[in-house]
């Protein structure tokens, strides 16, 4: 068997596995069609008339704007309990004081002194809790796909409708400063920008100090309508030290001083939003769906009264995507086309002097606009693809039609309809929450095509005759040793356990603007065991020779005639060729044995990834699917790709060495013959 043919055949088998992994990934992980439709003021979200008569006024669109300016402060990894007071009371337990508690004291002070002007919410984040995905959610109101986590360090421009697009289309001046991830997500969208590199998690101050250098002068200059500041120090401090380190207390105190400075400079027409994109674990990492990772802080404040009542004792829990339609309507913008979030109705109730009926009607108007937009998105999306569940979609559309009809009747006959108004609000909220739940559930499906390709690859015959045969037990043990080494070196198949510090080995000062080198270093650290064992797998062919005893062996030889039989004994000791010299007796068998070994190793690896795929598909509705099963599949798939490439390299290297030894052996034989 030709050596090139062996490599080509193994590469073809690897391609079958790659295709199967790609099919399963597209069929299981949260996947959806990204629509390029955009909302506009000229096209209302539904056939019904808009709720106000302000459509033609400056700053108004679907709804009259309540604010002309917004300051959005995004503190990366601002976990909800970071905004809690100094002493946290847990029922049945003594008070607990932690280093990170009470450092954002300005938030609590504002809530106590101006209760009608501010609110603190617990923002519920959709997993995975990676920064790039959270930025997509915070600007589009949609649910980014799970596989986007792999693009967290190589972000691509957002093509879906989003708040930044709506702001620039409306002629608003958007100024940004902070994490340079925004540069790739929204290229050319900012009227002024100050970008700072974000990957060096050991640097706690460069990004934050750079923002503070420009933040207050930019605010005082007034050349902006929306000001976005994305601070990274809290997130980097979590990665480097963890949340319980004194450095975290210092960093949160710095953020508190920054918020105080902003509050002092706010004007009456400006809304301040302080938000965390995600939380962090007890070790300071993030990426999964634990309670600490998906719980972020969200704080809203305005110099003018925002709310009709004082804050509740326990902060309200709101989905993170709810911020998108809320900000859009408060600024007089269209809600982004693909939003599935629900407006925060409390912000549309007026101030404390508003009448209960007028407050409820304002809430219903905002919810109806929101529901029209979501209904339009579901109709457009279902016409473009068949991802959504048909029966559930029909039920939701019927619910929306009923709620919309009740709302229109209410507008025509408003007398004595306060109870009906509350029922309409409940129906609209039920529709919006049901639509979001349906999208989350429908965008996780399993494709059987992976099984078909996997069975095709696994059904390839892998038994070949010849003297070189590695038993299945040895191949399986070799593959399991690679997995054992992965765990024994401190790795786990979950995103928070990735050894990010490996990116700075040999580069303690960082890598500048490069993302490929640190990504390569992290990948090499994570999958080193897969690569090393795959490259060394062909050496298993030589193991039987190493186990042989050295020295002469007795071998029975049949005499050729009677005279030779009288002269020679029946048995004599002869020297048999040992170890690699035996390869020269059957070089074609050696190539076939390499093919057999390669197929066996790929089969064992394929069984592992098939088991992960089956577990993920069977348990795709399990609560832990995005914390355990989906990350395990992603790590196993990446490990398979690394192992298969390493196996091909190892076999090619062994063939190259075998060719060199064969050439040297032929020269030696010719020299002896001469």
Instruction: Give percent of the chain with pLDDT exceeding 70.
Output: 79
Q: What is the mean pLDDT of residues 325-344?
A: 95
pLDDT given for residue 230 in this prediction:
96
Q: How many CB atoms lie within 10 A of CB 115?
A: 15
The pLDDT of residue 369 is: 95
Nearest to 635 by CA among 474, 441, 496: 496
Q: Mean pLDDT over residues 405-411, rounded?
A: 87
What pLDDT is attached to residue 367?
95
* CA distances in angstroms from 332 to 121, 143, 163, 166, 326, listed in the order given: 23, 23, 12, 10, 10
Alpha-carbon gap, residue 628 to 626, rounded angstroms: 6
Instruction: Give the whole-angstrom CA distance, residue 219 versus residue 255.
Output: 17
Contact 399, 434 (CB under 8 A): yes
| Percentage of residues in the chain having pLDDT higher than 90 | 39
| Alpha-carbon gap, residue 395 to 379, rounded angstroms | 13
What does the pLDDT read at residue 53?
A: 45
- The rounded distance, in Å, linking the Cα atoms of 84 and 297 is 9
Q: Please, which residues bridge with residue 192 across strands?
A: 175
CA angle 350, 356, 357 (to 5 degrees): 100
Q: How confident is the model at residue 510 (pLDDT cuts 50, 70, 90)?
A: low
The pLDDT assigned to 623 comes to 47
Residues shown for the chain: 674
617-651 b/e (C-beta count within 10 Å ≥ 16 → b)? beebeeeebbbbbbbbbbbbbbbbbbbbbbbbebb
**Both structure tokens of 627:** 């914390």
Give the pLDDT band of residue 54 (cuts 50, 70, 90). very low
Query: Residue 195: its pLDDT value, please?
Result: 94
Smallest CA-to-CA distance from 124 within 332, 241, 291 is with: 291
Contact by Cβ (8 Å): 499, 522? yes
Give residue 587's pLDDT.
65
Task: Specify the pLDDT at position 308.
Answer: 86
461-481: b or e for each residue (b if 16 or more CB lie within 10 Å)?
A: ebebeeebbbeeeebeebbee
Q: Does residue 621 or residue 332 have the better pLDDT?
A: 332
**Pair 241, 248: CB distance under 8 Å:** yes
Task: Give φ, ψ of 243 to 5 degrees.
Answer: -70, -20
Q: Tell me how far apart the alpha carbons of residues 198 and 179 are, in angstroms, rounded to a whole number.
A: 5
- Please tell me which residue, 495 or 437, carries the higher pLDDT value: 437
What is the structure's pLDDT at 445? 45
Q: pLDDT: is 545 or 251 the higher one?
A: 251
More confident site: 493 or 145: 493
Three-state DSSP at 508 gives coil
- Looking at residue 296, its pLDDT comes to 95
Number of helices (H), then strands (E), in the chain: 20, 12
Question: 289-303, 322-336, 379-393 — which is least confidently predicted?
Answer: 379-393
Q: Greater confidence, 30 or 104?
A: 104
* Prediction pTM value: 0.71
Neighbours of 74 (CB within 10 A): 22
629-670 residue pLDDT tens: 778 888 899 999 999 999 999 999 988 887 787 788 778 777
What digits encode the pLDDT tens for the residues 551-609? Answer: 555 555 555 566 555 555 555 555 555 555 566 666 667 778 888 889 999 999 988 88
Cβ atoms of residues 586 and 466 within 8 Å: yes
> Residue 85, Cβ neighbours under 10 Å: how many?
12
Q: What is the pLDDT of residue 67?
A: 94
Q: Which pLDDT value is given to residue 466?
A: 52
Q: Give the pLDDT score at 175.
A: 97
Q: What is the β-pairing status of strands 192-196 and 174-179?
A: parallel
As a whole number of angstroms, the distance between CA 168 and CA 226 comes to 10
pLDDT in tens, 427-457: 999 999 999 998 887 764 444 444 445 544 5
Higher pLDDT, 235 or 388: 235
What's phi and psi for 404, nearest 5 deg?
A: -65, -40
Contacts with 291 (C-beta within 8 Å, 6 or more apart), sequence order: none
Place of tokens 């193994």: 10
- Which is it for strands 226-231 and 69-75: parallel, antiparallel or unpaired? parallel
Q: 178: phi > 0 → left, psi -120 to 50 → alpha, else beta; which?
A: left
User: What letter does residue 341 receive in the DSSP assignment?
Assistant: -
The pair of structure tokens assigned to 368 is 């109806």
Six-digit token pair at 357? Answer: 């009926």
Cα 322 to Cα 329: distance, rounded to the nearest angstrom:
12
Residue 46 CA: distances (Å) to CA of 36, 42, 166, 427, 429: 19, 12, 18, 17, 17
To the nearest 10°, report the CA torsion of 40, 44, 46, 50: 150
Residues contacting 382, CB < 8 A, separation 6+: 388, 393
Confidence of residue 340 (pLDDT cuts 50, 70, 90): very high
Report how far residue 433's alpha carbon sits from residue 431's, in angstroms, rounded to the nearest whole number. Answer: 6
Q: What is the mean pLDDT of residues 50-56?
A: 51
pLDDT digits (tens, 9 = 90+) for 192-233: 999 998 777 778 899 999 999 999 999 999 999 999 999 999
Distance in angstroms (rounded) separating the CA atoms of residues 569 and 565: 7
CB atoms within 10 A of CB 299: 25
Share of the chain residues as helix, strand and coil, in percent rounded to the nearest 5 = 55, 10, 35
58-103 residue pLDDT tens: 446 888 899 999 999 999 999 999 998 765 455 555 556 677 888 8
Q: What is the pLDDT of residue 473?
A: 85
């Amino acid at each position: 068997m030709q050596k090139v043919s062996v490599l080509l055949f193994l590469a073809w088998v690897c391609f079958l596995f790659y295709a199967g992994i790609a099919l399963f990934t597209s069929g299981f992980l949260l996947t959806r069609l990204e629509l390029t439709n955009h909302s506009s003021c000229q096209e209302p979200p539904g056939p019904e008339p808009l709720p106000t008569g302000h459509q033609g006024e400056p700053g108004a669109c679907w709804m009259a704007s309540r604010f002309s300016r917004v300051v959005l402060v995004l503190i990366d990894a601002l976990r909800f309990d970071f905004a809690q007071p100094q002493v946290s009371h847990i029922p049945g337990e003594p008070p607990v004081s932690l280093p990170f508690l009470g450092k954002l004291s300005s938030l609590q002070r504002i809530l106590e002194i101006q209760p009608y002007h501010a609110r603190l919410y617990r923002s519920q984040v959709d997993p995975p809790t990676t920064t790039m995905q959270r930025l997509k959610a915070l600007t589009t109101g949609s649910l980014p796909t799970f596989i986007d986590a792999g693009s967290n360090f190589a972000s691509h421009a957002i093509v879906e409708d989003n708040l930044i697009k709506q702001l620039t289309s409306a002629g608003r001046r958007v100024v940004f400063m902070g994490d340079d991830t925004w540069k790739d997500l929204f290229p050319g969208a900012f009227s002024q920008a100050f970008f700072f590199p974000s990957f060096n998690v050991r640097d706690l101050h460069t990004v934050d100090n750079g923002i503070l250098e420009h933040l207050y002068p930019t605010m005082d200059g007034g050349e902006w309508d929306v000001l976005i500041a994305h601070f990274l120090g809290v997130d980097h401090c979590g990665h480097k030290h963890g949340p319980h380190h004194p450095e975290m207390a210092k960093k949160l105190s710095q953020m508190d001083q920054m918020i105080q400075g902003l509050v002092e400079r706010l004007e009456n027409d400006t809304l301040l939003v302080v938000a965390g994109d995600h939380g962090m674990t007890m070790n300071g990492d993030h990426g999964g769906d634990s309670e600490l990772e998906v719980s972020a802080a969200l704080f809203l404040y305005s110099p003018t009264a925002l709310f009709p009542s004082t804050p509740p004792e326990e902060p309200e829990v709101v989905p993170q995507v709810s911020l998108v339609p809320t900000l859009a309507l408060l600024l007089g913008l269209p809600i982004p086309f693909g939003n599935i979030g629900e407006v925060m109705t409390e912000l549309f109730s007026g101030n404390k002097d508003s009448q209960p009926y007028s407050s409820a009607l304002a809430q219903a108007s905002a919810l109806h606009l929101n529901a029209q937009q979501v209904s339009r998105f579901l109709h457009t999306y279902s016409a473009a693809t068949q991802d959504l569940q048909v029966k559930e979609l029909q039920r939701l559309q019927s619910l929306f039609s009923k709620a919309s009809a009740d709302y229109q009747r209410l507008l025509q006959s408003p007398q004595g309809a306060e109870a009906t108004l509350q029922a309409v609000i409940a129906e609209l909220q039920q529709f919006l929450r049901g639509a979001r739940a349906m999208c989350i559930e429908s965008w996780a499906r399993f494709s059987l095509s992976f099984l078909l390709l996997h069975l095709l690859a696994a059904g390839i015959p892998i038994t070949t005759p010849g003297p070189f045969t590695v038993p299945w037990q040895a191949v399986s043990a070799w593959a399991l040793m690679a997995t054992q080494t992965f765990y024994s070196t401190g790795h786990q198949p979950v995103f928070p356990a990735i050894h990010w510090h490996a990116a700075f080995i040999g580069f303690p000062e960082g890598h500048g603007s490069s993302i490929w080198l640190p990504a390569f270093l992290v990948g090499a650290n994570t999958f080193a065991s897969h690569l090393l064992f795959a490259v060394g797998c062909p050496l298993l062919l030589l193991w039987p020779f190493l186990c042989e005893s050295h020295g002469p062996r007795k071998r029975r030889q049949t005499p050729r005639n009677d005279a030779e039989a009288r002269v020679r004994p029946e048995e004599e000791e002869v020297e048999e060729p040992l170890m690699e010299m035996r390869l020269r007796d059957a070089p074609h068998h050696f190539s076939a044995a390499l093919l057999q070994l390669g197929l066996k190793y790929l089969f064992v690896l394929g069984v592992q990834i098939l088991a992960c795929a089956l577990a993920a598909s069977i348990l795709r509705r399990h609560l832990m699917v995005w914390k355990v099963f989906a990350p395990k599949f992603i790590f196993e798939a990446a490990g398979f790709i690394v192992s298969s490439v390493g196996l091909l390299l190892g076999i090619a290297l062994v063939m190259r060495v075998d060719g060199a030894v064969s050439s040297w052996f032929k020269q030696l034989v010719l020299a002896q013959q001469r």
